Structure 1
Amino acid sequence: MGVAYGMAKSATNRMTETMAHELKEHNISVVTIYPGLVRTESVMKSAEFFDLSNSESTEFIGLAISALATDLNVLKKSGTKQIAAQVALDYGYKDIDGKQPIPLNISSCQ
């Protein structure tokens, strides 16, 4: 991971935490959702260079947003980072192609 990318991700995480703190009294939840490898047009043009076995459709992150937006207890997750594939597991849905992407995190990549 490049330094600039890491700094941007860190800034997004901090902004999420701060906004969640500020908006809690208004019952507004703020979460950051990170996708895995998304099958965008650019990725698909270079598909020969990627292992797409755990990739996600472009619609998958929208399903994560929908699941969180309809959760009556989402305020408990406010200020957190969510991985789209973990959200799918937590809420019991799959990608539009029927596959279940595996959330990539430190423990799953060791």
Structure 2
Amino acid sequence: MSDSNQTRDVYDAIADPTRRQLLRLLADRDEIPLHELTSQFDMGRTAVSKHLGILKEAGLVIDRKVGRETRYSLNAAPLREIQDWVSFYSKFWRDRMVLLNQLLQEEQNEP
């Protein structure tokens, strides 16, 4: 984990489809109240709060109290670790495709 404030692995945090959907919703807006996030799922407020807590532990979500309401926003910085990991494999496959293309062209040029 790159950020010393993180207590949960970013990969673990995004492993769950509900948490990925929460991140997607938060990416679309600056800040979303808990009750609005809860309305997007077929689960209760407590379950959504638990998922948000996991995302918060990974540094992916920031919460802010406004009166009695909690509002959440995305902190995408920890996702850089995942982007870096995926980009390595993108290069790996791109290089393999270049090699495959070269082999296919060599086969076509053989008598």
Structure 2 length as normaliser, TM-score? Answer: 0.21
More helix, by proportion:
2
Structure 1 or 2, whichever has the larger Rg, is: 2
More strand, by proportion:
2
